[in-house]
Copies of this chain bind each other. A is one copy, B any other.
Amino acid sequence: MKKITLKDIASEFGVSISTVSKAINDSHEISHSLKDKIQAYAKKHHYKPNRLALSLLNKSTKNIGVIVPNILNYFFTQVFYGIEKTANARGYNIISCTSDESYLKEVKTVELLSSGTVDGLILSLSEETQSKGNFAHIEEFIENQLPLVLFDRVTDKIECDKVIVDDFEASYKTTRHLIKTGCRNVAVVSTIFNSSVGKLRIEGYKKALADFEIPYDERLNVQINRDDDLQLLLSLLLGNKEVDAIIALDEMTAVDVLYILKSKNIQVPEEISIVGFTNGRLSKYVSPSLTMISQHGKYIGELSANLLIDRIENKEDFMPFTTKLVKTSLIQRESTLSIS
């Protein structure tokens, strides 16, 4: 049995198509007897109005697009989870896409989504897009009158609602914490030095150093490219200076650093403390467990979805754009010393 339409029901009862429509929508202008019969028939045959037709008519799809750089990253998975949950609760579906950190794929995806498939978009910029600094595709998206929420990886060049992690404060308080536990030579290992997020974290780190009158040392700021050998760069770092703490800007790197230190028989945290960004599943279970910064991904997702849907449903009122700053939490475990 094929998908059933109003037309089918109409011819079945020998009435017009609009009568059927009204009957199904329980209009008062239709006689009870007819309504009952038609409704029963519709139920029996699992009639469901075609969403495409409705969307075309109402200019509202009840879909929202989500583009994240990499779904395998636990932080984004969590955000995604938060988005999905609140969007569903508010009657929206998610069209999910991955940019794979590629500028081109991001552009293509945004264009695709802007041609009528979604009522709005939640996006975290790909690394390549951020380092390129070319945002024409999202400007164009906004010109189509479609609301956009940028989260985590954002840019000043675009005016829209944003949800960002307070990365500056996060690395500031982390660095300060490390210093208070007695560390003097805090290094940073970053795989995301091109992204807005990576830069903010470096700024917070520098600010904390400055506040404690510790000079910033370029050599303690280690940038890791995709093909770089972390082991090698870490050896260089350790050869340079008496490093006593390392902040890793992502979870994977934090764990890798831990393992490299262990293989070098360096005691964590006695000799070197480690703190990592993104409190995922790994950090709790490695040994020693890692002190991490939680970004509250699920909450960020919820916030973004609510912001977007509010915007979708109040298109007339021009609310000013907001930027929500989500504070992080430092989750202390075994890889750092306690403040004495």
User: What is the total number of copies of this protein in its complex?
Assistant: 2
Q: Judge whether A111 and B48 touch: CB under 8 Å.
A: yes
Task: Give the distance in Å from the alpha carbon of A281 to the alpha carbon of B255 in the complex.
Answer: 11
What B residues does A80 contact at CB under 8 A? 71
What B residues does A50 contact at CB under 8 A? 56, 115-116
Q: Which stretch (A95-103, A126-134, A157-165, A190-198) binds chain B?
A: A95-103
What B residues does A339 contact at CB under 8 A? none
Task: Give the distance in Å from the alpha carbon of A297 to the alpha carbon of B117 in the complex.
Answer: 29
Tell whether A145 is near chain B: CB-to-CB under 8 Å.
yes
Q: Judge whether B81 and A2 touch: CB under 8 Å.
A: no
What B residues does A259 contact at CB under 8 A? 285
A43-61 vs B, Cβ < 8 Å mask (1 yes, 0 no)? 0001011111101100001
Task: Give the distance in Å from the alpha carbon of A287 to the alpha carbon of B255 in the complex.
Answer: 12
Q: Which residue of B lies closest to A61 (CB)?
A: B52
Within 8 A of B (CB), among A51-108: 51-53, 55-56, 61, 63, 71-72, 77-78, 80-81, 84-85, 88, 93-98
Task: Give the distance in Å from the alpha carbon of A78 to the alpha carbon of B140 in the complex.
Answer: 32
Tell whether A1 is near chain B: CB-to-CB under 8 Å.
yes
Q: Judge whether A52 and B55 touch: CB under 8 Å.
A: yes
Q: Which residue of B lies closest to A80 (CB)?
A: B71
Q: Judge whether A71 and B61 touch: CB under 8 Å.
A: no
CB distance from A113 to the nearest CB of B (A): 8
CB distance from A124 to the nearest CB of B (A): 16
Interface SS of chain A:
mixed
What B residues does A214 contact at CB under 8 A? none
Please tell me which one of the listed residues B52, B280, B285, B286 contacts residue A52 in the complex, with CB atoms under 8 A apart. Answer: B52
Q: Judge whether A116 and B2 touch: CB under 8 Å.
A: no
Please tell me which one of the listed residues B112, B116, B143, B281 contacts residue A93 in the complex, with CB atoms under 8 A apart. Answer: B112
CB distance from A103 to the nearest CB of B (A): 16
Q: Which residue of B lies closest to A113 (CB)?
A: B93
Please tell me which one of the listed residues B63, B116, B287 contacts residue A286 in the complex, with CB atoms under 8 A apart. Answer: B287
Q: Judge whether A95 and B93 touch: CB under 8 Å.
A: yes
What B residues does A51 contact at CB under 8 A? 115-117
Task: Give the distance in Å from the alpha carbon of A95 to the alpha carbon of B96 in the complex.
Answer: 6
Q: Judge whether B145 and A2 touch: CB under 8 Å.
A: yes
Tell whether A236 is near chain B: CB-to-CB under 8 Å.
no
Given known A72-B78, A94-B96, contact A145–B84 (CB-CB < 8 A): no
